[in-house]
A and B are shown apart, each in its own frame.
Chain A
Amino acid sequence: MSDIQQIVYVVEDDEAVRDSLELLLKSDGKAVATYEGAAAFLADYSEDMAGCIVLDIRMPGMDGMELQKKLNELHALLPIIFVTGHGDVPMAVDAMKEGAVDFIQKPYREEALLEKIEAALTQDREQRQTLGEQQEILRRVKTLTPRESEIMARMIAGQANKVIAIELEISQRTVEIHRSRVMHKMGTHSLAHLVRMVLSVKDRIDVG
């Protein structure tokens, strides 16, 4: 999971700024992809993208704020660093409220920009890792049979084997077998861990 290459996506209408930023980031060892406008980036966007976006807030046509809105609608996780001009601070504040990681004012110091990019990449990595773990949990949940899912829901709810057996009108021995299969399939030995795992993805599955 963690060896996916992170790319800095530069969305900037000004050719010189775009070109110089690309060179700068590349010389710092970053992988860079550049786009001359919000629409071009949106056309290229996929959920698999890892890294962060360095986004000019003021652009002709679709501006940075609009692109952020569109990406939010797509549940994109890529952290956004807004690049603003003089006097655009109110806009930047709005952008932060919409979930932007950070903003930086032009002309900027390289250190400051790289620092913010590093932070964004770290955030992306962590998000992606969490997401990867969650996806693993979901994958495991999907391998459960309906009966096992039902038993797991009751386990998480804290029901004892005996209670489960009576309510489902099956033998306590059968419950125990299902239970051990659930633990095996979910790759854990501890009920507490199972509860934590399932809760972390509870929004995305229908647990009991």
Chain B
Amino acid sequence: MSEQVSASTGATVLLVDDNPQNLKVLYETLKDKGYRLLIANDGAKALTLARRDKPEVILLDIMMPELDGYQVCQRLKAHPATADCAVVFLSALDDVDAKVKGFSLGGADYISKPFQAQEVIARVGTHARVIRLERELQQRNRQLENDQSRILNAISEGIYGLDASGDIIFANPAAEQIAGSSAEALVGRNFFKLHFGYDCQCPEVLQNGDVPVKATCDLGVPEHRRGIEMLRADGSRFRAEYRSSPKLEREALLGAVVVFRDISDELERERELESARELVSQQREQLAHASRLTVVGEMAAGFAHEVNQPLTAITNYARVANRIMSGEHADEVLLQETLAKIEAQSHRASEVIRRIRQFVKKPVTGKEVVSIATLLEDTRQFAEVDVRNNEGGIEIEVEEPVPEVSADPVQVQQVALNLIRNALEATRAAGSSQPVMVSARLTGQGCVRVEVTDHGIGLPEDAEDQLFLPFFTTKPDGMGIGLPMCRSLIQAQGGDIGFERPAQGGARFFFTLPLAVNSARAVSGAS
């Protein structure tokens, strides 16, 4: 075998002829034309070289001993590695039958001997270019297909291609995994039947418009749903999220593409997160409740006094009634008046007890529509138990209109009470006889702002950083629980809490609460 390789890095051309003289002429004709030239002097060698080097063009002599040109061509076309090369037959046979036979075996062209150098160069050049372009195109296509399938394979979401009736025409590996079946088994099955047990042929179920993806297949409406229950191939169930988009060509609806995933774990984690949140919320409620009990404990002496007052009055009135009746001429009018007074006083005592019970009752949780003015007035009466030692007392100033807010009334009262008691204590400690001012007004930000202003000694320099931290306190017997608790409660209501240093001294604490839905609508309607 004689093989010669040109230095060219261009197309490869294989020259096949049993006649060395012919080979030489061909070689001379094509050398220095930028081709890599291979030569073979029989059919077997030609096949070996062609399979190894995959030439773009093969110049193939027909009349050769053993394997002739037709046979070589047949074998080349039958082998995938060489099927695409351009075979150009060379023969002295210049008859139509031979040419037709050559073309019918897959030949690309025909050059008659004795050949013209210019013709050989031109035909080889054309075929070399065509084959190179074809090969590049194929290479591109292969790459593109690889990229696409890599993407489809790599995506963790399941992807189905559906036709208009919902039959699966494509399934990616993730879809196989989620559905629990191979792509081969999936393709051809009906998506609705497989995953939702829904039979399109069954007319009474057809009425059901809520079958997932149905609207996309039927009407071209995209869908996105979460938490949908789907069936696997084995009939087991899982929770899924999917998006479906219509497959359109021009105006025609061809079906749908469904991207879906199994979100059972995700939902489980969400449930866990939700229950953790729930737990935190419960603990906050319990802590708040414990804190309210503590407050009531601190105020016990005051409450005892509040209850003792009406009890004392009742005892006195009862004695008076007794005296009236034991007299010779009982004054019935006076007696009735006295009895009415007894009744009023027992209501008064039970009101104090009601207020305490209301305050210490277990959290019912749940926001209500609350009138701030009423709540503050109620809180004032509650706090007045402590006011006996404050000359100034508590003054409430509600800048009407203050719309109703949405909040848990007990917790808001707890916060207001805490701030008012702090303010009373600060005012008392400073020896001031100024009242503690409690005000409420509507802010521009669509919430109600409540302020509690005292005339105490004010707040320390570093209060900003620490005041709302647990266990920080400026009071000698303080625990540092009150304000952090207030903040936690107000934030849970969707409000904010903070403080300011008024120019005239003392301290001002404020909190905000979001408006109730109806109030917010009324406010925005009015503005």
Contacts of B324 in A (CB 8 A): 27
| Bound: A59/B389 CA distance, A | 7
The segment out of A106-114, A118-126, A177-185 that lies at the interface is A106-114
Q: How many A-B residue pairs have CB under 8 A?
A: 77
Query: Which of A23, A24, A61, A87 is close to B304, meaning CB atoms less than 8 Å apart?
Result: A87
The residue in B320, B338, B387 that gathers the most chain A C-beta atoms within 10 A of its C-beta is B320
B310 nearest in chain A by CB position: A16
B interface residue count range (under 10 / 10 to 19 / 20 to 34 / 35 or more): 20 to 34
Q: Give every chain A residue within 8 A of B348 (Cβ-Cβ).
A: 16
Asked whether any CB of chain B lies closer than 8 Å to the CB of A60, the reply is yes
- Chain A interface mostly helix, strand, loop or mixed? loop
A174 interface residue per 8 A CB criterion:
no
B320 engages A17 (CB within 8 Å): no
Residues of chain B within 8 A (CB-CB) of A136 are none
CB distance from A60 to the nearest CB of B (A): 5
- The answer to whether the Cβ of A21 comes within 8 Å of any Cβ in the partner chain is yes
Task: With CB as the reference atom, state the residue of chain B lying closest to A83.
Answer: B312
Q: A85 contacts B305, CB within 8 Å?
A: yes
CA A108 to CA B312, docked complex, whole Å: 7
The reply to whether the CB of A14 lies closer than 8 angstroms to some CB of chain B is yes
Known contacts A16-B348, A61-B391; decide if A108 and B313 are in contact (CB<8 Å).
no
Q: Are A16 and B309 in contact (CB under 8 A)?
A: yes
- Find out whether the CB atom of B393 lies under 8 angstroms from the CB atom of A86: no
**When chains A and B are docked, how far (Å) is the Cα of A59 from the Cα of B384?**
12
Shortest beta-carbon distance, B164 to chain A, in Å? 84
Q: Is B311 an interface residue (CB 8 A)?
A: yes
27 residue pairs of the A-B complex, CB under 8 angstroms, read A14-B309, A14-B313, A16-B310, A16-B313, A16-B341, A16-B348, A19-B313, A20-B313, A20-B320, A21-B316, A27-B319, A27-B320, A28-B323, A58-B305, A58-B388, A59-B388, A60-B387, A60-B391, A63-B388, A63-B389, A85-B304, A85-B305, A86-B301, A106-B305, A106-B311, A107-B311, A110-B316
Q: For the complex, what is the distance from the CA of A48 to the CA of B358, rounded to whole Å?
A: 51
Q: How far is the CB of B326 from chain A (nearest CB, A)?
A: 10
Specify which of B314, B344, B393 is in contact with A60 (CB 8 Å cutoff).
B393
B312 touches A20 (CB 8 A): yes
B76-118 near A? 1/0 per residue, CB < 8 Å: 0000000000000000000000000000000000000000000
Pairwise interchain contact A27-B323, C-beta atoms closer than 8 A:
yes
User: Which A residues are CB-close (under 8 A) to B301?
Assistant: 85-87
A88 CB, min distance to chain B CBs, angstroms: 8
Take A16-B345, A24-B320, A85-B308 as given contacts and tell me if A60 and B388 are in contact as well, using a CB distance cutoff of 8 Å: yes
Sorting the interface of chain A by its residue count into under 10, 10 to 19, 20 to 34 or 35 or more gives 20 to 34
Q: Is the CB of A86 within 8 A of B320?
A: no
Find out whether the CB atom of B345 lies under 8 angstroms from the CB atom of A23: no
Minimum C-beta distance from A161 to chain B (A): 65
**Distance, CA A107 to CA B317, complexed state (A):** 12
B309/A106 in contact, CB under 8 A: yes
- Contact residues in A for B320 (Cβ distance below 8 Å): 20, 23-24, 27
CA A108 to CA B314, docked complex, whole Å: 11
Q: Which residues of A contact B341 (CB under 8 A)?
A: 16, 19-20
For B292-316 the 0/1 string (1 means CB < 8 A from A) is 0000000001001100111111111
> Is A110 a contact of B313 with CB atoms below 8 Å?
no
Chain B 317-329 interface 0/1 with A at a Cβ cutoff of 8 Å (1 = within): 1011001100000
The smallest C-beta distance from B405 to any residue of chain A, in angstroms, reads 31
Which one of B319, B324, B387 has the highest number of Cβ atoms from chain A below 10 Å of its Cβ?
B319
The digit string for A15-39, where 1 denotes a CB below 8 A from any CB of B, is: 0110111011001100000000000
A21, B338: Cα distance in complex, Å: 12
- CA gap between A63 and B344 in the complex, in Å: 26
Residues of B within 8 A of A109 (CB): 315
Q: List B contacts of A110 (CB < 8 A).
A: 315-316, 319
Cα distance A16–B318 when bound, in Å?
Answer: 13
A59-73 contact mask (Cβ, 8 Å, vs B): 1 or 0: 111010000000000
Complexed CA–CA distance, A21 and B319 (Å): 10
Q: Does B41 contact A (CB under 8 A)?
A: no
Given the interface contacts A14-B313, A19-B313, A60-B391, does A86 sit within 8 Å of B308 by beta carbon?
yes
B319 touches A24 (CB 8 A): yes
Contact of A20 among B305, B308, B317, B393 (CB under 8 A): B317
Which residues from chain A contact B304 at a C-beta distance below 8 Å? 85-87
Is B390 interfacial (CB-CB < 8 Å)? yes
| Distance from B22 Cβ to chain A, minimum over Cβ atoms (Å) | 131
Known: A60-B388, A87-B304. A108 touches B338 (CB 8 A): no
**Complex Cα spacing A110 to B391, Å:** 31
Write out the residue numbers on chain A whose beta carbons fall within 8 Å of the beta carbon of B344. 16
- Cβ of A108 and Cβ of B388 under 8 Å apart? no
Within 101-154 of A, Cβ neighbours of B (below 8 Å) are at: 106-110
Candidate in A23, A87, A106, A109 with the most chain B CB atoms within 10 angstroms: A23
Contacts of B393 in A (CB 8 A): 60
Q: How far is the CB of B125 from chain A (nearest CB, A)?
A: 116
Bound CA–CA A155/B96 (angstroms): 184
Chain B hits for A63, CB < 8 A: 388-389
Other contacts beyond A17-B316, A23-B317, A106-B308: 14, CB < 8 A? A16-B348, A17-B312, A20-B315, A20-B341, A27-B319, A28-B323, A59-B388, A60-B388, A60-B391, A61-B391, A85-B304, A85-B305, A110-B315, A110-B319
Nearest neighbor of A23 in chain B, beta-carbon distance = B320
A60 cross-chain contacts in B, Cβ below 8 A: 387-391, 393
* Among candidates A24, A28, A107, residue contacting B308 with C-beta atoms closer than 8 Å: A107
B309 A17 Cβ-Cβ under 8 A: yes
In angstroms, Cα B312 to Cα A58, docked, is 15
The proximity string for B residues 335-349 relative to A, scoring 1 for CB distances below 8 Å and 0 otherwise, is 000100100110010
Q: Give bound CA distance, A80 to B310, whole Å.
A: 23
Bound Cα distance from A147 to B266, whole angstroms: 116
- Chain A residues, Cβ within 8 Å of B388: 58-60, 63
Report the Cα distance A109→B319, complex, angstroms: 10
C-alpha spacing A96/B312, complex, angstroms: 22
Bound CA span A63–B309, Å: 16
| B345 CB contacts on chain A under 8 angstroms | 16, 20
**A87 contacts across to B, CB distance below 8 A:** 301, 304
